[in-house]
Structure 1
Amino acid sequence: MDELTTSIVGIDFPNEDKSKSNRRMECMLCAPGDAVELRLEPTNPYDDNAVAIFSERGTQLGYVSAERAPLIGKRMKEGEAIAVFQAMHGSGAYIRIRFGGGVPTLPDPVPDIPKRPPPRQARPAQRPVYDPHAFCPDEEGPEFGA
């Protein structure tokens, strides 16, 4: 496995910096192909295999999932790992990682399938409003010689 795509977890948590920067907003500022930095966090109190993800601007985007962190951390220690921001999709964000040198290749974007419009609801037929004081000429009236 030379390349893989993985999700960024923890994008809804605030960062620990002074400004409590917003991870989701930072993800929204990233374009597909922007370089991201992976940093091992062996002193992380929750997971000693934690791999943090930082944008080009130095703001943390989140973490690699706990399931993938041991594999990615091991591969990072063995050699070069280069990562780029891949995309935001729905409520999540993804990165693409290449091991052993070279730039990760982004897969072709999934085309948005147009959603079917909701079925049109039939509008009720408009009935004339009854006005008891409205003028209604009598066809048999005096104008016609009745």
Structure 2
Amino acid sequence: MRHISLAVVGVQFDNKKGPPRRFVVEMCTPGEPVELRPEPKNPADRNAIAVYSARGVQLGYLTAERAPMIGKAMRDGIVQAIFQRKEKWGATIRAHLDGSVPTLPDPADSRAADWPPPGSQDADWWPDEEWPDE
């Protein structure tokens, strides 16, 4: 899995400085670069990875389930990411874990549009890629 779409959560919280995260998400355009910043001293999660806009303002965080995998990829090589789209629940970014320049996925692929699933009790759930049975 070298190219992946990732949920950005925590958008509903305000930044300590600067504009609110929801406003920052609204200002982002699909395809613009985003920066991933590990936060090993984060008291809630030492694997936390913050997501920042091209303007250097925080959008939110990667989910706790994905952060360790992305953190490892960041330590092992170059990870580049772009803003993919705003969502009702936050935002989606597109990351390439092989150092290549990220590209937006096919717009017809809307699997993430209704995340979290209606009635879901687990707001941290994120669907994995579905592969056809062989």
Give the TM-score, by structure 2 length: 0.78
Alignment of 1:7-26 (within 5 A): 7-17=7-17, 19=18, 21-26=19-24
Q: CA-to-partner distance for each residue in 1:4-62, whole Å, 9 max, x for gaps? A: 00110000001122x4x210110110000000000010000100000000001110000
> How many residues are paired up?
110
Alignment of 1:1-146 (within 5 A): 1-17=1-17, 19=18, 21-110=19-108
Question: Within 1, Cα distance between the matches of 2:6 and 2:66?
Answer: 8
% identical aligned pairs: 49
Amino acid at match of 1:13: F
5+ residue gaps, structure 1: 113-146
Root-mean-square deviation (Å) = 1.5
Between 43-52 and 84-93, the greater mean CA deviation after superposition = 84-93
User: How far did residue 111 of structure 1 move?
Assistant: 8.5
Amino acid at match of 1:105: T
Question: Within 1, Cα distance between the matches of 2:76 and 2:103?
Answer: 21
> Which structure has the greater CA radius of gyration?
1
1:126 equivalent in structure 2: none
Question: Within 2, Cα distance between the matches of 1:111 and 1:13?
Answer: 28
Amino acid at match of 2:85: A
Structure 1: 4+ residue segments shifted above 4 A: none
Amino acid at match of 2:32: D
